[in-house]
Structures are given as structure tokens and as C-alpha cells.
Structure 1
């Protein structure tokens, strides 16, 4: 008589960390709902950084939660970047006029090159100069996640730029409105400045809404023009990384010329531009994108080690602050150029 056999399902290693990330995203949403001035994604990053510093939580973060945190920080980030393309309408961007578009692109390129050079000047390790330049010049932590998908940095290399872009973007929410009237800007010009100079989309909304709906509309469209630069910048980095790997090891697996998630981002932007999507679809995609990015940024935040950052990361901090000032000045110049 044969004994029945029972199959035991193996536990899914990434599930606990993924559940924690989802719970953290809910907490971040609650913080944003209670204090609207705090962007949801900023709250998610800060919450991850705080959890990563708690001694009691450290064994879980580097142990059973690690697979899920890594999955969120990498794969969910890429899906969120694809959905970000559904916010882009090329028609809205074209409505800005060629002067505004050209000056916005110039701000991205100059600030990217300037920040990268500053990071190299301060001898930041690994891919940090590239990641900081990407996050500060394009669209904050989302851009850092997209670029990380190509260059495959160590977790701490990506975590430090995310912490810096969160810090400086949060500072912008409070500092830029104080300079609005002293600089003699009207509401639309202030919105233009915010869209061209603040890093993350949520931080742009939190800063520009102070000047009213008109300023917010201008800020979001200018910001999405910067977001549009994400695809070519990541594609160029992929080509450079591919060439570097070929020179270092011809047999090594090389990244694609255009990463799949970048192609998805472009397709999503084209769909948003040429197809009349119902509001329920765009709103649903926007909500899903926000949730995925909040989970991803919480996962990235848990990799930040403040003790290490304070002890050895002063060069990265100085790089971030100089870049923040550089972008704010360049963006202000773009506003004045467009107003002439």
C-alpha cells in the first residue's frame, strides 16, 4: 500500500518585502493626505530611510525582507517609469513654444553635464556622478531608478543619490516660494521656474500649487518636457555602457541599446499623444504609477546608511547642493529668456 505524497509549496522569497513596501506606500499616502505639502513619493523615500536606520529593523531589512525590497526598488521602478509615459502629451509640450522647449532642453543638458563634472571633480565612487546628474537634471528618483536599470549600480550607489534628490527637492518646496515675489516673477513665470528647476514631479506640484492653478499647469507641462528627456539620456547611457563592457570583456552579457522599459515609456507617451484615452484609464494608470514608485522608493530608501553618508558622503552632499543651485539658476535664466 503506497503512502500518499503531499507537495509542499516553497515560500515566495520576495513576498514579505513586497508586502512591507505596499504597507509603507499606504503610510506615505496617509502622510500626504494629512499634510498635502509633503509629496507622497518624498514621504515614501523618507520612511524607507528611517526604517533603514532602526537597529531592530536592520536584521529583517538585510535578511528575509531583502528580496522583496530589491524587487520593488528595481522591477517595480521600471514599471512605474513606463506608466510615467502616459502623463506625457506631445501636444501639450508643443504648446509651450519653441523658445521654452529649447531652453528647457538646454537646462537639462547643461545641468546634467555640470553635475556629472562636479561629481567627478569630488571623486564620487562608482556610478554616483551619473546617477546624481540624472536625478537632479531630469525627474528625481524616478530617473535614478531608470538609469540604474542600465548601469546596474550597487544598492548604496543608487540609495545615496535618491536621498540627495529627496533632500534638495524637499528644500525647494519651502525655498522657491520665498523667492517668488523678490525675483519679480508673475504666477506663470513662477510655474515655469518650478517646472524647469525642481526635481520630482510630486515636488513640482507641491511647490507650484502655491501660485494657483495657472502656475501649476505651466509647471507640470514644463516638468514633463524634462521627463521626455529621460528616454534619450538613458538610451545614450546604455550605448556607452554596452561599449564599455565590450572593451572590458567581449564575452560579457551586454545591455540592450534601448532597454525594454525605456521603449515602453516611449510607447506609452505616443499612446497618450495620439489615442483619446478615457479619464478612467489615465487616472487609473496615474494611481498605479504612484503606488509602484512609492513602493520602489521605499525599497531604495532602506538601503541608505546615514552613518556612512554622514561619515564619508560629504562630497556627495556638496555635489547635490551645488547641482541644486546650478539648476535653479539655469531654470531662472530660461524663464527670463522665454519672457523676452
Structure 2
């Protein structure tokens, strides 16, 4: 009976996220508080639901992004994407050796920072034959930093007077997971959301070549790679809305629904945060993650400000 009682605050929290009063940061906090108190039903497969809902939400966002704008944002930021991805990976390997961290653990943290957080770690992990504890440690490290970024980045953006486009570009490059990028950008503004989503997914496509390169570098023959196929459906959604403009009213409805679904995603992510996960990150991996994060954040912010 006591287990079923936990569904009541969980459902109430979920209902709150469906209202206009909830935004991404508040949804994350509510989810985390429920998790800390122990009011999250254990039988709910949070990770599985979040992963699918996030993918559907991002595809839905594609219906609200103009094709020419997506093309412009991607072409404008391609140099920044390539430079930060491979620069982060190289710096990550050097810091991993300096901090005397397990090479695979450090590389996974670097890949998660360089591309798109948990998705990159999930793709690269089997390609380099990483163990479960190494993958879990990398995920925990990136997860903690994602949660911090969701709150810190909008504050810094407003303090520096960043425009919507500037903030969207910065968030797409410097924040790890797509969910946190979209969450922070949506809290900043509509244009920031469009820019951040488009650039982040263009960045996420680099999972494919990075995974292949990683497999060769670590001498792995494992072919069980997890690729984010939803990115291709997102591109298809942009194309459909561009080629069939007569259904624009429906596209805007889908876009609005997708944004609300993303708030629910942040709530579910908050429900999955625990103090044990934070402790599991440990000091050295966390130092590595923070160091890479600070470097890529400052470098990309400088580029955005002086571009």
C-alpha cells in the first residue's frame, strides 16, 4: 500500500509540469525533491520513458523550425562545432592521464562533454569496450553538471546581455545533454530554443564519426553502437514543414506540445537524480568533467561574444 501512495505526489508533480506555470528548471527541482524524499515509484521505468519522450519531443520541435533558419544556424556554427569537439577530446585525454584516471572512464567523460552527454557516452561506451562501472561513472559525472548548467547558464546569459541567438549557440556547444540544452534555451526565449536545438542536433550527428574513430583508437571490434536515429526524423520534420506549409497551424500545435513534453522530460530526469549518483561521481572524474566544462564554456562564450 505504501508503495502505491508514492504515486500520488508523483502524479501531482507530473500534472504540475503539464501546466503553463512549470518551466524546465522548476520541473527538474520538483522531480529531484520527490526523489530525495523517496516519493518516486520504483516500478516506473524513468530512464526508458525519458529517453523515448525526449526523442519524440525533439522530432516535434522540428515542425516549428524554419528550414532556412536551420540551414543558416548550422552552417554558421559548423566551424565552432568541429573545433570544440576534437579540442575537448584531446584536452580530455591529456587531463585524464595527468589526473591518473582510468583511460576509458576519462574518455567517456570527454566524449560526453564534447558532443551530447549521455547519448554520446551510450554510443561510445560499447565501441571502446568500456565496463559498466566506467560507463556509470561517466554518466553520473555528466548528469551532475547538466543539472547545474540548467540553472547557471540562463543567469549568466542575462547578466552578460546575450541575445537569443548568442545564448542558443553558447548553450548548444557548452551544455552536455540535449535535454538540458533545450531546457536552458527554452527558459531564455523562443529564438534561443530554435537556435540551440538546431545547432545541438547538428553537433550530435558527430556521434557517428567520433564513435568510429574511438573504436579504431581503442582497437575495438564491437559493432553494437547506439546511434541517435531521432535526429534524422527531426531533420525530416523540418523538411516536411517547409515543403507543406499549408498545414502550418498543425505544425505550431505539435511544436507547442513538444515544448511542454520537454518540461515533463526534465521532471522525469529530476526524479532520477539521487545523492548516491552524485557521490558515485567521485572527486577526480568530477574534477575532469568540471575542467573540460569550464574550458569549453569559456572558449565558446568568447567566440559567441566576439563573432
TM-score (norm 1): 0.63
| 1:47 pairs with 2:30 | yes
Question: How far did residue 91 of structure 1 move?
Answer: 0.5
Match of residue 28, structure 1, among 17, 28, 38: 17
2:47 maps to what in 1?
Answer: 70
Contact 1:49–1:304 (CA under 8 A) maintained in structure 2: yes
1:11 maps to what in 2?
Answer: none
Match of residue 276, structure 1, among 245, 250, 264: 245
Match of residue 334, structure 1, among 297, 300, 303: 303
Aligned residues: 285
Q: Counterparts of 1:110 and 1:262 in 2: how far apart (Å)?
A: 21
Question: How far did residue 297 of structure 1 move?
Answer: 3.8
Q: 1:130 to 1:21 in 2, by over 3 A?
A: farther
Question: How far did residue 337 of structure 1 move?
Answer: 4.7
In the TM superposition, 1:102-117 aligns within 5 A as 102-106=78-82, 108-109=84-85, 112-113=88-89, 116-117=92-93
Q: 1:321 to 1:28 in 2, by over 3 A?
A: farther
1:212 maps to what in 2?
Answer: none
Question: How far did residue 304 of structure 1 move?
Answer: 2.7
In the TM superposition, 1:81-96 aligns within 5 A as 81-95=58-72
Q: Counterparts of 2:103 and 2:11 in 1: how far apart (Å)?
A: 31
Contact 2:31–2:271 (CA under 8 A) maintained in structure 1: yes
Q: Counterparts of 1:166 and 1:223 in 2: how far apart (Å)?
A: 17
Question: How far did residue 244 of structure 1 move?
Answer: 9.2
Q: Counterparts of 1:330 and 1:194 in 2: how far apart (Å)?
A: 14
Contact 2:24–2:262 (CA under 8 A) maintained in structure 1: yes
Structure of greater Rg:
1
Match of residue 173, structure 1, among 154, 157, 160: 154
Q: Counterparts of 1:21 and 1:221 in 2: how far apart (Å)?
A: 30
| 1:195 pairs with 2:207 | no
- Residues 207-243 of structure 1: CA deviation (Å, up to 9, x unaligned): 4x5xxxxxx63x4454244223244223235546777
Q: 1:95 to 1:101 in 2, by over 3 A?
A: same
Q: 1:158 to 1:51 in 2, by over 3 A?
A: farther
In the TM superposition, 1:92-171 aligns within 5 A as 92-95=69-72, 100-106=76-82, 108-109=84-85, 112-113=88-89, 116-117=92-93, 120-121=96-97, 122=99, 123=101, 130=108, 133-134=111-112, 143-144=116-117, 146-147=119-120, 150=123, 151=125, 157-171=138-152
Q: Counterparts of 1:97 and 1:145 in 2: how far apart (Å)?
A: 22
Q: 1:221 to 1:241 in 2, by over 3 A?
A: same
Match of residue 57, structure 1, among 9, 26, 39: 39
Q: 1:302 to 1:176 in 2, by over 3 A?
A: same
Q: 1:230 to 1:130 in 2, by over 3 A?
A: farther
TM-score (norm 2): 0.69
Question: How far did residue 270 of structure 1 move?
Answer: 2.8
3-state secondary structure, aligned to 1:304: coil
Q: Counterparts of 2:50 and 2:254 in 1: how far apart (Å)?
A: 19
- Residues 60-103 of structure 1: CA deviation (Å, up to 9, x unaligned): 42xx23xx3233133323333433433443411444696x4344
Unmatched segments (≥5 aa) in structure 2: 127-131, 176-180
Question: How far did residue 206 of structure 1 move?
Answer: 2.9
